Amino acid sequence: MFRLEGQRILSPAQLKRLSEHKYSCASESLIDPILQPYWNKLTSCLPLWLAPNLITVAGLIVNILTTLVLVWYCPDAKAEPPRWGCFLCALGLFIYQSLDAVDGKQARRTGSSSPLGELFDHGCDSISTVFVALSACIAVQLGEKPGWMLFQCFTGMTMFYFAHWQTYVSGTLKFTKVDVTEAQCSIMGIHLISAIFGSSIWTTKIPVVNLEIFYLMILFSQMCCGAAFIQGVYIILTGGCGRNGSTVAGTSVLSPVIPFGLVVVPAVVISAMSTQNVYEENPCLYILAFGMVIAKVTNRLVVAHMTKSEMEYLDSVLMGPLMLFLNQYFKSFLPEYYVLWGCMLWATFDLLRYCRQVCLEICDYLHIELFRIKPTLVGKDGEKNGMGIRGPQARPPIGSRSARQHH
């Protein structure tokens, strides 16, 4: 049976383990050290009353809105997007990257670090990944090759889930030399090139190899993903930190593949079996719908890691894909386009409902507020000046954002 969230999602034992959670990260990023001075300067300009989670969600909103501009003009990802729209997407991604990098620094600066910061940051990143991947596909008119578009978008979402799968197994979030920041900078470059030269430049053939430019871009991205995938598989199979090499929750290291497979397999099958070409005709809507489903499953994986709990296989968000599957099974009793809209709206609602409830439960347990802090300035001597916040639960900064701050 699908599990619909009731009044409580996290048990008292899970909340206790979450409050004891300590962030662990290892990063070899090539670009992060270069951007550190800029991020530090930007942090110093922020007012002390500005809550880190507010910074995170502001960046996410900017990223979503700029991507939706491209979706509005190119819902099938086939038409050439407006150049100013591509520039806007590059700017929006830069703003998101900057705010995502400084929110953890702001948490340290104000003494407001908590496990909620890590969870909130990962949650926003899971949603952002969907929109960033989609915007890049629109910028290069990848809708002309819908199979490649589906593959590229799902590759991005898969790698994000895969990173947290590794964390669930090893207890440490690991970033390779070419990882999140490098991918974001590459996509900003794609948008800027499309803004300057037009998206038609990606279909230009290179004389020597006789391949369109975007094929080389795909090849490069898949090589980077392949290297990260191989390293991740090795960590999953050999790096379990639980008893007998299990996950942090003591479960099988392969268990996270099942919830993810329950999303990816239906997504591929439904698109292939559609008699109304529901994906080919509505690629952006299709990717957003299944992207929200994947974001919900990824958030549950992050929660399972931070609470050292077993991850349940079935989830209420899967009712969206189930609607599409049943509609196809009954010979498209309803137009697939409308069912797809229903899937997207349900997945978005279910994701937001879950995130809201989890955040409220954590805030209540840690006696903190989600978007409000009482500033505590941390001096060079390590002493805090001003009002302390969040009581005994306050601890050194944690969160995926910290990967950029520990250099």
| Cα separation, 141 vs 81, whole angstroms | 8
Q: Are 273 and 328 in contact (CB under 8 A)?
A: yes
Residues annotated as catalytic are 122
Structure tokens at 52: 């880190």
| Cα separation, 369 vs 371, whole angstroms | 6
| Cα separation, 146 vs 132, whole angstroms | 17
Q: CA angle 123-127-129, nearest 5°?
A: 115
| Cα separation, 303 vs 306, whole angstroms | 5
Phi, psi of 212 (to 5 degrees): -65, 150
Q: CA angle 238-241-242, nearest 5°?
A: 115
Give the DSSP letter of residue 209.
T
Instruction: Give the burial string for 223-258 (b: 16+ CB within 10 Å, else e).
Output: ebbeebeeebeebbeebbebeeeebbbebbbebbee
Query: SS3 for 288-352, per residue?
Result: HHHHHHHHHHHHHHHHHHHCCCCCCCCCHHHHHHHHHHHHHHCCCCCCHHHHHHHHHHHHHHHHH
Count the Cβ atoms, other than its own, within 10 Å of residue 124: 27
List, in order, residues 6 or more apart from 155 with CB less than 8 Å away: 133, 221, 222, 225
Q: Cα dist. 221→90, 152, 184 in Å?
A: 18, 9, 12
| Cα separation, 315 vs 317, whole angstroms | 5
Give the DSSP letter of residue 204.
P
Distance from the Cα of residue 273 to its chain's centroid? 28
Distance from the Cα of residue 69 to its chain's centroid? 20
- DSSP-assigned letters across all residues of 68-97: HHHHHH-TTS-SPPPHHHHHHHHHHHHHHH
